[in-house]
Structure 1
Amino acid sequence: MPSSAELRTLGSEDASITAGDFFEALTSSEFYKKTKVRDISGSFRWAPFLALQQSNSFLTMLLLLSKYKMKSIPIVDLGVGNINNIITQSAVIHMLAECTGLQWFESWGTKKLSEIGLPMISRNQLVTVHEDEPVLQAFRLMRKKRVGGVPVVTADGKKAIGNISLRDVQFLLTAPEIYHDYRLITAKNFLLAVKNYLEKHDTRSPMLSGMITCKTNETIKELIQMLDSLKIQRVYVVDDDGNLEGTITLRDIISRLVYEPPGYFGDFFDGVLPLPENCRI
């Protein structure tokens, strides 16, 4: 088994050398043995983390999960130093789905996506990877562009055939048949390999449902219920011909619910999150 230094210098022609157990290579490396939690804790958006107390407002929570791009927020008890709970974007979407039947939700939920400004990310803003590109390019783009997922598009770039998210890197690490060719496997073949792997190991995975899409004439209520039932983080918007038009994330939906009053957080976030002028998220 090659060392971690050797793995970093391997070219595409040497991909077959890496066949084997990824974790065997990882745990035998000096990098793995010497790295401490403190060495990586500062790499997160808020280090060590940004937390809330139970006395904080619901608006504060929603703003952090939308405008300020936090996927989860610890709820702490400063008196005893405990983390009592963690609130996620998915939990908020589930809460909204549970509001079905309430007057305020039905009034808002019957609006079409286009009526409330969704999708916020249009086709020309979308980060994509072509089906014949190496799957590693998808993960490079996610890191460079700081996005959680990218659609895999056809050669002409018009239609999406699947989605690759950050958490899908696990399949490069845990599935030997994928790890064997991780430097050469294309995005399309990666999707097929993951599907085959899940059919054997996890038949409940939403990745087996195929490409999840919606249209702008669907309602926000329908979208929330779909995202909640499938336990997914984003959905791609297509036109009547199936051409890709944009994407909608959990964060986008939450942001449609809130508005930050001027000076709400004071200068706490100044210089941390640059936003365009007149932004009303």
Structure 2
Amino acid sequence: MQVEDLWDTQEPQLSPTEKLNACFESIPVSAFPPAPSHQVIEIKSDTSLAEAVQILAEHKILSAPVVDVDAPEDASWIDRYIGIVEFAGIVVWILHQSEPSSPRSPSSGSAISAAANSVTSFLELGVLSLDSAATTSGSFFEALTASEFYKNTKVRDISGSFRWAPFLALQSSNSFLTMLLLLSKYKMKSIPVVDLGEGKIENVITQSAVIHMLAECAGLHWFESWGTKKLSEVGLPMVSANRIIKVYEDEPVLQAFKLMRKKRIGGVPVIENGGTRAVGNISLRDIQFLLTAPEIYHDYRSITAKNFLTAVRSYSEKHKEAPLRLSEMITCKKDHTIKEMILLLDSKKIHRVYVVDDDGNLEGVITLRDIISRLVHEPRGYFGDFFDGVLPLPQNSRV
């Protein structure tokens, strides 16, 4: 049965939210549309960071599960997969190794240390930091991606780093409610679905895929009943103007990614110097351009947030790629409906929309996760103590 059928059979005394919860609890994850085959990609643990970046870029995905090459052929999925590797994780991990105070800086004699020793002088460990002049220069990432450190370090070497995501998977018999809660309250951006018999991944469900599914429900009774509510009626935006994390256009672009890492957020607006107007948006997924096209910054003395936006926009136009939303601020008003937000997020293929007033001043931000979180709620004791001490991670966690 689909949500539309279940909606009409629920007890009339249930509230709309309770009815939605009951509907999604009754639908198995196996009913979720399969992801395109090019998005269900696995990366072997002995793959180099350089190769992993290339794989992620070619398939236009932000992360992928890592298969332990040393696991036996008949290994269960728990033993077969050792984690999720992400674009952002690779960049931040590399930079973190260079911080003198890092407890994870490679020790002498380690494989990583051996690779790092062959890096050019300004890439040597103990010299760099996220704020140093070297890491903000236009040639930094071009030199980094040509280094032996980058080419020789394996994906398994960053296992356990603070941007290494644990492997938490669903089974096809789990419910939509479980899936939606993991993608919203528990802040997972994507969830693999495993085939217990084969011990392998058969689908990957992302926040974007859920929003697309909701967009296709437009016109159905249950969706219209929920989706016609205004954002302000359902408590959105959750992040108000004075709590928005932002960067100014003359700040190093690495500051933007550093803030995203520290605050555990997916994007920041770029604000004009000396003003309050947002001139662009940088998201965590944009960090891939620091590794996949480092040559585009070569002529910049410093990779500022503004230079980053300009360089990537130019690169995209030159290579005739799909227009990027880096410089375009997608906005809405508080009187927009949930339905309008879902259709906007889906059509633009973006992860956040900024809420503005009539004068264009920022009033808040709404993400994919915010929308999904308004669709369902977690019943008391639903996960028991499963996430105690696991998710959400402590603020200073490096797991």
TM over 0.5, shorter chain: yes
- Paired with 2:176 and 2:135, the residues of 1 have a C-alpha distance of 53
SS in 1 for 2:261: helix
| 1:143 correspondence with 2:261 | yes
Aligned mate of 1:12, from 133, 139, 160: 133
Q: Is the 8 A contact 1:4 1:29 kept in 2?
A: no
* Aligned residue number for residue 217 of structure 1: 335
Match among 101, 114, 122 for residue 232 of structure 2? 114
Structure-2 separation of matches of 1:17 and 1:59:
46
> Residue 201 of structure 2 is aligned with which of 83, 93, 110?
83
For residues 50-73 of structure 1, the C-alpha deviation after alignment (integer angstroms, 9 at most, x for no partner) is 000010011000000000000100
> Secondary structure of 1:87's match?
strand
Contact 1:206 1:232 in 2 (8 A): no
Larger Rg: 2
> Unpaired runs of 5+ in structure 2?
1-117, 394-399
TM-superposed deviation, 1:7: 2.4
Shift of 1:79: 1.7
Q: Decide whether aligned partners of structure 1 residues 271 and 15 sit closer, same or farther in structure 2, where only a CA change above 3 A counts.
A: closer
Aligned to 2:147: 28
Report the residue type matching 1:146 in the other structure: R
Identity %: 68
Which amino acid letter does the alignment assign opposite residue 269 of structure 1?
F
C-alpha distance in 2 between matches for 1:45 and 1:191: 27
3-state SS, counterpart of residue 245 of structure 1: strand
Please name the residue that 2:380 is paired with.
Answer: 262
Deviations 1:190-228 (A, max 9, x none): 212221221111442242772111111111111110110
* CA gap 1:262/1:168 in 2 versus in 1, 3 angstroms: same
Structure 1 position 188 matched with structure 2 position 303: no
Partners of 1:121 and 1:107 in 2: how far apart?
A: 25
2:295 to 161, 176, 189: 176
Which structure 2 residues correspond to residues 32-181 of structure 1 after superposition, within 5 A? Answer: 32-33=151-152, 35-43=153-161, 44=163, 46-47=165-166, 49-156=167-274, 158-173=276-291, 174-181=293-300
8 A contact 1:16–1:180 mirrored in 2: no
Q: 1:82-128 CA distances to partner (integer Å, 9 max, x unpaired)?
A: 11000000010000000011011111111111111111111122110
TM-score (norm 1): 0.87
Question: Per the alignment, in what secondary structure is the counterpart of residue 204 of structure 2?
Answer: strand
Other structure's SS at 1:207 match: coil
Letter in 1 for 2:306: K
Give the conservation status (yes or no) of the 8 Å contact 2:158–2:164.
no
Which of 99, 119, 137 lines up with 1:3 in the alignment? 119
Query: Comparing 205-214 with 148-157, which one deviates more in the overlay?
Result: 205-214
Name the CA shift for 1:3/1:120 in 2 (closer, same or farther; >3 Å).
same
Instruction: With the length of structure 2 as denominator, give the TM-score of the two structures.
Output: 0.62
CA contact (8 A) 2:296 2:312 kept: no
Contact map agreement 2:144 2:150 (CA 8 A) in 1: no
- C-alpha contact 1:15 1:180 (8 A) present in aligned 2: no
Is the 1:234–1:250 contact (alpha carbons within 8 Å) kept by the matching residues of 2?
yes
Cα-to-partner distance string for 1:18-53 (whole Å, 9 max, x where unaligned):
37x82x6435323641x3332223235652x00000
How many Å separate the matches in 2 of 1:28 and 1:189? 24
Residue 360 of structure 2 is aligned to residue 242 of structure 1: yes
Which segments of structure 1 move beyond 6 Å, counting only runs of 4 or more? 13-17
> Judging changes above 3 Å, is the alpha-carbon distance between structure 1 residues 13 and 225 closer, same or farther for their aligned structure 2 residues?
closer
1:245 CA drift (Å): 1.1
Deviation at 1:133, TM superposition (A): 1.3
How far 1:135 sits from its partner (Å)? Answer: 1.4
Matched residue count: 269
In the TM superposition, residue 155 of structure 1 has moved relative to its aligned partner by 2.8
**Per-residue deviation at 1:246?**
1.1
Q: Which runs of 5+ in 1 are unaligned?
A: 276-281
**Aligned residues of 2:248 and 2:272 also touching (Cα < 8 A):** yes
The residue number in structure 2 matching 1:279 is: none
Q: Note the alpha carbon deviations across 1:221-243, whole angstroms, 9 max, x for none.
A: 11110110111111111111000
When residues 212 and 101 of structure 1 are mapped into structure 2, their CA distance, relative to the original with a 3 A threshold, is: same
Higher RCO (Cα < 8 Å, 6 or more apart): 1
